Amino acid sequence: MQCAIQLCTLEWKLHYAQANNTLKDIWNLLRLHSHLYKFKDSHIVGQAANTRARSKISKADDKINMAAECYEVAKAALANLAQILNEDQTWMEVFKPLNRSKDLKALKDMWGKETEGTQHLSWIWKTPGVSGEHQSWPARW
C-alpha cells in the first residue's frame, strides 16, 4: 500500500508539472497567434503570401488545440489522483476548467467587441506561474 501511495505521489507531481508547462505553452502559443495575425495584417500582400501566412496561423491554431487537449488530460489525471491522495482543493485554483471558446483567444480577440469597462481577461493570462514569468521580456529587448 505504501508503494502505491508513493507512485501516486510521483504521478501527481508529474501531472502537476505537465499541466503547468502546458498552460505556459498555451500562453506562448496564443501570443504567437496574435503576433502572426498582426504581422499578416500589416506586412502581407497578395494571394500567395496570404495563403502561406494563413497556413502558419492554422498550424498555430492546431498547436493551441493540441496543448489544450494535453492540459485537459493532465487536469483530469490530477482530479483522479487528488481523490486517492486526499489532496486539498488548492490545485483547482491554479488549474481551472478550460473553456475553449473563451479562454483560447489572444488578447486582441478577447477585447475586440467589448468596451474598455467591460473587458474580461481570461484566467490563463492571470495564472501566477505563467504570466509573471514573462514580464521581463520587454526589458531584455
- Confidence class of residue 123 from pLDDT cuts 50, 70 and 90? confident
- Mean pLDDT, range 36-63, rounded to an integer: 93
- Confidence class of residue 106 from pLDDT cuts 50, 70 and 90? confident
Cα dihedral 121/124/125/126 (nearest 10): 90
The CA distance from 116 to 68, in Å, is: 28
Question: For residue 43, what pLDDT is reported?
Answer: 92
The 10s digit of each residue's pLDDT in 25-36 is 999 999 999 999
Half-sphere exposure for 49 (CA within 13 Å, toward CB): 10
Question: For residue 114, what pLDDT is reported?
Answer: 55
Question: For residue 139, what pLDDT is reported?
Answer: 40
Question: For residue 11, what pLDDT is reported?
Answer: 95
Confidence check: pLDDT of 121 > 80: no
Q: Domain extents for the chain? A: 2-140
- Mean pLDDT, range 84-106, rounded to an integer: 88
Question: For residue 136, what pLDDT is reported?
Answer: 40
